């Protein structure tokens, strides 16, 4: 988080207004700092030009890590470290390893993805991110411009023409 940004932002009452405004901002080549909403607005990502999240790829890698940890771990323990015969079955009884291998795959994938999610988003216990307006987590949809990129006057006329219900500035 870079220190001290002068932010000018507009609040919209409806996600349809927000989407139209984002489209207009893109058409007018105004550089949007960020868009905030109280719930995920579907269809916004492509307009905003956000690339698809790669979190699921990370999840796959974590899952594979779990698979290998469980399967190779049990294999090593029961064939090398301390081989014991259970009920006359072979040391390396693969079918019996399947349940634990599956569980650890799921466990590693979940924990890994959740930790990655909070890390890349810069969220976590005790984190206080600067916020623009109290109503953004309630019922307002917000487009924010950094005043280094978009001048205050430019932003104001943009918000007026796109039907924002309020325009505010804040230093974060």
Partner 1 sequence: MSAPVSKIREPLITGHKSYHDITEDLVSPTEKAPPVSWVIGFIISVAVLAFGVFCILWTIWHGIGTWNLNRTIGWGWDITNFVWWIGIGHAGTLISAILLLFRQKWRTGVNRAAEAMTIFAVMCAGLFPLIHMGRLWLAMFIFPYVNTRGPLWPNFNSPLLWDVFAISTYFTVSLLFWYTGLVPDFATVRDRAKGFRKKIYNFLSFGWTGSAKHWQRWEALSLVLAGIATPLVLSVHTIVSFDFATSVIPGWHTTIFPPYFVAGAIFSGFAMVLTLMLITRKLLKLEDYITLEHIESMNKIILVTGTIVGVAYLTELFIAWYSGYVYEQFAFFNRAAGPYWWSYFGMMFCNVISPQFFWVKKWRRNIAFTFFLSIVINIGMWFERFVIIATTLARDYLPSSWSLYSPTWVEIGIFIGTMGLFFTLYLIFSRVAPVVAVAEVKSILKTSGDQYIGANAIHHDHDHGHDHNHDHSYASALAADTPGDGNHGVASSIADTATAVENVVDDLKKIEGIGPKIAELLNNDGIMSFTQLANANVNRLKHILTEAGSRYQMHDPTTWPQQAQLAAEGKWDELNDLQDRLDGGRA
Residue ranges in 83-112 that form contacts with partner 1 under rule CB under 8 A: 84, 86-87, 89, 93, 96-97, 99-100, 102-104, 106-107, 109-111
How many of the chain's residues bind partner 1 (CB under 8 A)? Answer: 72
2 near 162, Cβ under 8 Å? no
134 lies in the binding site for partner 1 (CB under 8 A)? yes
By rule CB under 8 A, what string of x and - marks binding of each residue 8-27 to partner 1?
------xxxx-xx--x----
What share of residues in the chain are helix, strand, coil (percent, to 5)?
50, 15, 35
The stretch near partner 1 (CB under 8 A) out of 3-11, 138-146, 154-162 is 138-146
The stretch near partner 1 (CB under 8 A) out of 2-10, 119-127, 145-153, 154-162 is 119-127
Q: Which is nearer to partner 1, 126 or 153 (CB)?
A: 126
Distance CA 150, CA 144 (A): 10
Report the 3 state secondary structure along 46-109: HHHCCCCCCHHHHHHHHHHHHHHHHHHHHHHHHHHHCCCCCCCCCCCCHHHHHHHHHHHHHHHH
Residue selected from 5, 48, 147, 168 as contacting partner 1 according to rule CB under 8 A: 48
């Amino acid at each position: 988080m870079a220190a001290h940004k002068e932010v000018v932002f507009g609040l919209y009452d409806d996600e349809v207004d927000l989407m139209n405004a984002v489209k207009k901002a893109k058409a007018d080549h105004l550089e949007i700092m960020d868009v905030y909403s109280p719930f995920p607005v579907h269809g916004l990502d492509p307009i905003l030009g956000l690339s698809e999240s790669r979190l699921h790829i990370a999840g796959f890698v974590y899952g594979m890590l779990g698979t290998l940890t469980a399967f190779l771990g049990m294999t090593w323990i029961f064939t090398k470290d301390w081989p014991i015969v259970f009920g006359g079955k072979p040391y390396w009884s693969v079918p019996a390893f399947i349940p634990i291998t599956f569980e650890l795959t799921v466990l590693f994938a979940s924990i890994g993805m959740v930790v990655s999610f909070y890390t890349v988003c810069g969220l976590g216990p005790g984190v206080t991110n600067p916020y623009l307006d109290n109503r953004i987590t309630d019922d307002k949809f917000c487009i924010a411009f950094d005043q280094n990129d978009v001048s205050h006057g430019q932003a104001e006329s943009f918000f007026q023409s796109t039907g924002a219900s309020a325009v505010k500035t804040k230093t974060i």
